[in-house]
Amino acid sequence: MASHVLLDNINHKDLRIISKRSVSLGDNIPSLVTFPFEYRDIQTNFPICFCKDPETGNFYTAALFGFEENENLFLEGESWDAAYTPLMLERQPFFIGNQTNSSGEDQRLVYIDMDSPRVSSTEGEPVFLEQGGTSDYMQRISSILEAIYQGQQQTKEFVEILLKYDLIESFSLKVELNDGTQNQLQGFYTINEDTLNGLSSETVSELMKNGYMQAAYMMIASMSNFRSLIERKNKRL
């Protein structure tokens, strides 16, 4: 069970984070949340699909790494076999929170899951310096967490405008492997390309203004990565 606590340089002065990739560190996951600002990098490696939060019914976007539970086809021992590491993977085991201070200003807070297998006092990247300041590693993590925080709002706006113009549709994918097994990938959504191509010039301008037209086409382009994902699966049979 996760144990999220507020990070500080007193209680966590000796904290280290194991940053390598491994099944034992929880990296055997078939998908992970991603955000429009990183689609350019994501779409060169992974399929990007919409998923629905089962509790809220809200859409979010995810990069796919595998076809079944506990499967990550980009995980090779302790190595990550892709040119890009999604930010939601790289930020582990940290989280970002937001609270309003006494002046009415938003304040970002960093939390850590102390039950994560990445947490150590003897191995990995130091979080704080001996003098109490944050390490280069933690400064990068803080930047990643801020980007994720902004990305959550960006995704919300992206989804809202796509729904406004009926641009999200469900899809299923029949996956047939070299050993003869067949599976149906279901429960995912993508861009309705026909509807996208039929938009008026005014709507296209609206989408382009915030980079959402580009994001939509990068999602569509990423679907071709299902072929390489199936190839990876076949190699492990």
Q: Residue 46 and residue 89: Cα distance in Å, rounded?
A: 14
Q: Residue 88 and residue 128: Cα distance in Å, rounded?
A: 21
- % of the chain with per-residue pLDDT over 70: 99
Structural domain range at position 13: 4-232
Confirm whether 184 is domain-assigned: yes
pLDDT at 3: 80
Q: Residue 205 and residue 168: Cα distance in Å, rounded?
A: 19
Confirm whether 94 is domain-assigned: yes
Neighbours of 114 (CB within 10 A): 15
Confirm whether 237 is domain-assigned: no
pLDDT along the chain (237 residues), means of 10: 85 95 96 97 97 95 96 94 96 90 81 96 95 94 96 97 97 93 92 97 94 97 97 95
Confirm whether 202 is domain-assigned: yes
Closest to 81 (Cα-Cα) out of 235, 221, 237, 199 = 235
Count structural domains, the chain.
Answer: 1
Q: Residue 127 and residue 218: Cα distance in Å, rounded?
A: 35
pLDDT at 188: 96
DSSP per residue over 52-97, as a string? Answer: E-TTT--EEEEEE--SSTT--TTEETTEE-SS---HHHHTTTEEEE
